[in-house]
Structure 1
Amino acid sequence: MIWIMIACGGALGAMARYGLNLWLFPIFELRFPLATLVANVLGSILMGLAYVILIERGNFQPELRHLIMTGFLGAFTTFSAFSLDAFALMRNGDLFTAAGYVLLSVTTCIIAVSLAIKISSEYL
């Protein structure tokens, strides 16, 4: 059942992310990824709220947590999960590990996408 909830939440999150792009792009035709920034910030805010409501204070079924946090927010923006992981490390006092995680994640992901574009542009 949890897999179905994640899939349903993921479908809704992906549609919400696409809808955000459609809504913001005509308004802000900038050379700046505003829709991505808005999705990342909004998704991180919603992840923080969901964490408190569904995990810390709530007594909700795991299916609801997976529908909202893993499914919807995971598809809307994976940055929200990244942000929650970094926050958890900081909250536990692992500041050095948190800083390393943030730096390593951002740096390696930018390198990874750059390499993938370079390699696929040459060989595909």
Structure 2
Amino acid sequence: MKLYLAVMLGGALGSGARLWLSGWMAHRFGETFPIGTLVVNVSGCLAIGLVAGLTGPQGIFLASPVMRQMVMVGILGGFTT
């Protein structure tokens, strides 16, 4: 149950961050090209890769499975979706 709640909370944070960043990019650079979507997806995928590598079995940071899933699936998954 704790895992589900953590992922839901992370998803809410990630989706809010995506909404804010996409809106800010559209306001800053215009809406002729969806630059906000491009920036969000590229940065989110890079962040997922970094978190996976740094907190994995051979990684340099220790993270509990719940924290790892909250960040990767919840926050960053919500951010990139």
Q: Greater relative contact order (Cα 8 A, min sep 6): structure 1 or 2?
A: 2
Is residue 2:34 matched to residue 1:69?
no
- TM-score normalized by structure 2? 0.88
Q: CA deviation at 1:30?
A: 3.5
Counterpart position of 2:63? 60
Please, which runs of 5 or more residues in structure 1 have no aligned partner? 79-124
Question: Within 1, Cα distance between the matches of 2:28 and 2:62?
Answer: 41
Counterpart position of 2:24? 23
RMSD after superposition:
1.2
Identical amino acids, percent of aligned pairs: 37
Counterpart position of 1:83? none
- TM-score normalized by structure 1? 0.59
Question: Within 2, Cα distance between the matches of 1:54 and 1:11?
Answer: 22
- What is the identity, as a one-letter code, of the residue corresponding to 1:34? I
Q: Secondary structure at the match of 1:60?
A: coil
Structure with greater Cα Rg: 1
Question: Within 2, Cα distance between the matches of 1:60 and 1:38?
Answer: 27
Please, which runs of 5 or more residues in structure 2 have no aligned partner? none
Richer in helix (by share): 1
Aligned residues: 78
Question: Within 2, Cα distance between the matches of 1:46 and 1:63?
Answer: 17
- After TM superposition, the runs of 4+ consecutive aligned structure 1 residues lying more than 6 A away are none
Deviations 1:46-101 (A, max 9, x none): 011101112141432111111100000111004xxxxxxxxxxxxxxxxxxxxxxx
Q: Secondary structure at the match of 1:32?
A: coil
